[in-house]
Amino acid sequence: MSKVSATLSSVMRLYNESRFNLQDKVKKFIPEYDNNNKSDTTIQNLLLHNAGLAPDHPDPAHTSKE
Distance CA 43, CA 22 (A): 5
Distance CA 32, CA 8 (A): 23
Position 20 scores a pLDDT of 96
> What tens digit of pLDDT does each residue of 15-60 get?
999 999 999 999 999 998 888 788 899 999 988 889 888 767 666 6
pLDDT higher at 51 or 63: 51
Q: Read out DSSP for 22-66?
A: TTSBGGGT-GGGGSTT-TT-BHHHHHHT-S-PPP--SSGGG-S--
Cα angle 44, 58, 53 (rounded to 5 degrees) comes to 25
pLDDT higher at 4 or 44: 44
Q: Considering only CA atoms, which of 46, 47, 65, 43 is closest in space to residue 56?
A: 65
Position 66 scores a pLDDT of 56
Position 39 scores a pLDDT of 87
- Whole-prediction pTM value? 0.73
